[in-house]
Amino acid sequence: MYVTLGYSVAGRPIRAFVGRESGGEKIVVLGAFHGDEPKSVTVARKLIDLLDTEPQQGKGHEWVVVPIVNPDGYEARRRRNANAVDINRNFPTKNWVRSPRRSRMFSGDSPGSEPETRAVIKAVKRYRPTRIISIHSIDGRRHCNNYDGPGRAIAEAMGRRNRYPVRGSMGYPTPGSFGNWAGVERGIPTITLELPSHHSPKRCWEDNRWALFC
Ligand SMILES: [Zn+2]
């Protein structure tokens, strides 16, 4: 079943696949915070296909998958949304700061100013996940299972399956990031799965299919 969480700046729906309730972990999976990271969408859509056709593969967990958080950016293959805001710096966290509009990490005019950000907040408040996996991709062989909040054990379990390094920090500050909002400030184990941008979409899925089910 799909539900619409909200609409992008340009009016595109932000949709979530909601799997069957089953009483296990509640897992929210998010793709394409950044529109120029289409491999995140491939992996999220493959996950939806699997859960839809073989629900028993869901390991008894309740799954909510938002394959495209930022549909305007995805359509244009651009990182930011149609207001040139980096959704992953727009969350209303204590450490939110206003960054220059020209910056590729422009944080918006105010915390939570963007409809895409508010759609993600709505999903977290509505479904109350016990685990979140936010999928991105990254170059320079910096791919990893990055965690915020109490996500270390999950990141390590994923690392045993996808063979990506585990990182508690990306090595640079990320004020207003989703990981800060959900993991650090709300205590939800939050994994930022950084796919290797030099791997094919097919390989990203094959390497992570089992990691997502830890
Ligand atoms: Zn990203």
* Per-residue pLDDT in tens (0 to 9) along the chain, 214 residues: 999 999 999 999 999 999 976 778 999 999 999 999 999 999 999 999 999 998 888 778 899 999 999 999 999 999 999 999 999 999 999 999 999 999 999 999 999 999 999 999 999 999 999 999 999 999 999 999 999 999 999 999 999 999 999 999 777 788 999 999 999 999 999 999 999 999 999 999 999 999 998 8
- This prediction has a pTM of 0.96
Bridge partners of 144?
194
Domains of the chain: 2-213 (3.40.630.10)
d(CA 52, CA 1): 9
CA of 56 to the centre of ligand 1 (A): 30
Query: Residue 40 Cα, ligand 1 centroid: separation in angstroms?
Result: 9
**φ, ψ at 65 (rounded to 5°):** -120, 120
**Ligand 1 center–CA 196 separation, angstroms:** 11
User: Cα(159) to centroid of ligand 1, in Å?
Assistant: 19
